[in-house]
Amino acid sequence: MSSPQNYGVWKPIAENIEFNALESNSNAVMAVADTVRTTLGPKGLDKLLIDQAMNRHVSNDGVTILLSLRAIHPVARMIVEIAERQEQKVGDGTTTAVILAAEMIKEGKRLIRELAVHPTKVVEGIESGVKYSCDLLKKSAKKISLDDAELDQIVKTSLSSKLDGNVLHKIVVSALRTAGKDAIYGDTYDFDKSIKVIRRTDMDDKIVNGVILERRRLDPELPMQVNNAKILILKLDLKPVKESWIKDNNKYQDILKMENDRLVKSKRIVDAILETGANTLFIASPEVDQVIEDLFVSKGIFAVHISTEEIEYLSRYTGAKPVRNLDDLKNKDILGTSEKIYEDEDIGIVYLEKGLGKKIITILISGSTKEISLERWRSTIDGINAAEAALNYGIVAGGGAAELHIIEKIKQLKLKGLEQVGLEVVTSALESIMRQILTNAGFNGLEKVMTAKASPDGYGVDIDSGDIVDMVAKGVLDPVLVKTMALQASGEMAKSVLRIDKNLAADDLNPQAVADSRR
Ligand code: ADP
Ligand code: MG
């Protein structure tokens, strides 16, 4: 087996062909999965990541740990990809996805090696098993709404293994409820649009009903606060004459003419801006001519630079329509409003409160060091994602109970011949989640899972006492989407790994060129 220290670095045997690919690929996958296995669940342990410059970072987050592994076997890299995909699609359940994939590959390999089942049969069994599991889980899911106590429990469960989970839990739930129905786009919740999470090391955790820009105003002489802000979002070029033209031109008359031109043009732009009635400017143009800036100062207008990404949500929050050229300034309804805008000079943050448009909530996440605020920030986002998935798709019993109790039903699925054996790959994966959570909590995972299996639907093991309890009544709940996505992603990976019979060291890997040459 590859040593866990090198995470399965690939050393092809026999010059360029690795005949025992299944063995080597599966070992590499196990080695990588083992690095995150022990973080699963509320009693999961953390990992200390140390980079080449000896920087330290403590993490409990599957993706973070996997992405920071250096040398890695190409097949094991797929594990990292599943975790990333899970993170992108649901934003939680990354460790779950990795453990499922590792278990499927381990069990699949056993069937192929020990029972001589053909890989295609195993693959077909996985396909049917995953599909049926997802259907069963979706069918058993319960819909919830924003005011239900289950929402608190979902967030709590998701943050239970995280640093400061119980502090962050309260912040997340409060932000979710404040955002409320304004976070519904179409017919689904999209909290990405209505809750921004910012991390800082210089202030306490805080929820702001409004927008925060981590910026200072354009010039320290500009006013620090505006009440009843009339806002313009400017995408137009605020540098009418480029300095380089002036430098390149050495004729005094030309320079004079250009300087004059610059003053006239700048004044025209500022006049057009002021005519709209705006008293606050969000400037997306990277450069602002000094002449224009000086005019803003003399008119006492509030102005701050913003990035292209900030345009979209500032526009949504204030109702301002971005202006691209001077003509746009004549359009109606381009101004947005916000009751109060002010800068906290000490920390360089601009606050916007009570915008005209959609509600936006900003969560400020603190930390005594950059690493701690980063980890707490990630957890906060995990909690929000879990809540979003729960509201949009429903919830199931957590602690691996939902997965455990569909096993018997899956076994009843009668597939022809050896494909039935392939189903075992999926059922052992379904069992592995509870087993790992309990092993991590110091129990004999296997033994506890056996007892839990005989209990009614939704029952699992209390992580503290080891007793069999109703997980739903206990409030240990997971979004069903986290489970179905993790099952699908891990199933896909297991299928491709189990199908490989040889690893070849290829010269120049370019599948596109090969495909093109066949046209
Ligand atoms: P992931 O990266 O997969 O989200 P986590 O470390 O967040 O990994 O663990 C999630 C798992 O922990 C879920 O299956 C969840 O149901 C389980 N879990 C959370 N709290 C409890 C609890 N109190 N008892 C048992 N299981 C729990
Ligand atoms: Mg989680």
Report the pLDDT value the prediction gives residue 512, as an integer from 0 to 100. Answer: 75
Distance 465 CA to ligand 1 centre (A): 16
Atom nearest to 39 CA in ligand 1: 6
Atom nearest to 96 CA in ligand 1: 3
The phi, psi pair for 353, rounded to 5°, reads: -125, 150
Atom nearest to 60 CA in ligand 1: 6
Distance 428 CA to ligand 1 centre (A): 18
Atom nearest to 398 CA in ligand 1: 16
Atom nearest to 160 CA in ligand 1: 20
The answer to whether the CB of 157 is under 6 A from ligand 1 is yes
What is the per-residue pLDDT across 269-295, written as a single tens digit (0 to 9) for each? 999 999 999 999 999 988 899 999 999
Distance 319 CA to ligand 2 centre (A): 36
Q: How far apart are CA 258 and CA 472, in angstroms?
A: 74
Report the pLDDT value the prediction gives residue 4, as an integer from 0 to 100. Answer: 42
The answer to whether the CB of 62 is under 6 A from ligand 1 is yes
Task: Write out the two tokens for 34.
Answer: 């083992």
For a mutational test of ligand 1's pocket, the pick from 160, 172, 461, i.e. the residue with the most ligand atoms closer than 8 A to its C-beta, is 160
Let me know: does 484 contact 490? Beta carbons within 8 Å.
no
Q: Domain boundaries in the chain?
A: 4-142+395-501, 149-205+366-393, 211-364
Distance 219 CA to ligand 2 centre (A): 44
User: What number of other Cβ atoms are within 10 A of residue 337's Cβ?
Assistant: 16
What is the per-residue pLDDT across 132-174, written as a single tens digit (0 to 9) for each? 999 999 999 999 999 999 999 999 999 998 889 999 999 999 9
Residue nearest to atom 20 of ligand 1 (CA): 157
The answer to whether the CB of 400 is under 6 A from ligand 1 is yes
Distance 8 CA to ligand 1 centre (A): 27
Distance 307 CA to ligand 2 centre (A): 31
The answer to whether the CB of 82 is under 6 A from ligand 1 is no
Torsion of CA 269, 273, 275, 278, to 10 degrees: -160
Residues with Cβ within 8 Å of 137's Cβ and at least 6 positions away in sequence, in order, are 396, 402, 403, 406, 480, 483, 484, 487
Report the pLDDT value the prediction gives residue 11, as an integer from 0 to 100. Answer: 55
CB-count burial class (<10 Å; 0-12, 13-18, 19+) for 116: exposed
Q: Which residues of the chain have pLDDT under 70?
A: 1-19, 71, 241-250, 506-509, 511, 513-514, 519
Distance 233 CA to ligand 2 centre (A): 38
Q: How far apart are CA 354 and CA 339, in angstroms?
A: 5
The CATH architecture of the domain made up of 211-364 is 3-Layer(bba) Sandwich (3.50)
Residues with Cβ within 8 Å of 186's Cβ and at least 6 positions away in sequence, in order, are none
Q: How far apart are CA 398 and CA 404, in angstroms?
A: 10
Ligand nearest to the CA of 160: 1
Return the beta strands (E) in 442-515 as ranges: 459-461, 468-470, 477-479, 503-504
| Helix, coil or strand: residue 189 | strand
Report the pLDDT value the prediction gives residue 261, as an integer from 0 to 100. Answer: 85
Residue nearest to atom 25 of ligand 1 (CA): 399
The answer to whether the CB of 463 is under 6 A from ligand 1 is yes
Helices of type H across 115-210: 119-140, 149-159, 165-179, 191-194
Q: How far is CA 512 from CA 509, 515, 517, in A?
A: 9, 5, 9
The answer to whether the CB of 436 is under 6 A from ligand 1 is no
Strand partners, 120: none
Report the pLDDT value the prediction gives residue 5, as an integer from 0 to 100. Answer: 47
**CA 315, 320, 325, 328 torsion-angle sign:** positive
Strand partners, 504: 17
CATH number of this structure's domain 4-142+395-501: 1.10.560.10
Q: How far apart are CA 453 and CA 455, in angstroms?
A: 5
The answer to whether the CB of 397 is under 6 A from ligand 1 is no
Phi-psi category of residue 10: left, alpha or beta, with phi > 0 → left and psi -120 to 50 → alpha: beta
Q: How far apart are CA 39 and CA 24, in angstroms?
A: 25
Strand pairing class (280-283; 302-305)? parallel
Distance 94 CA to ligand 2 centre (A): 7
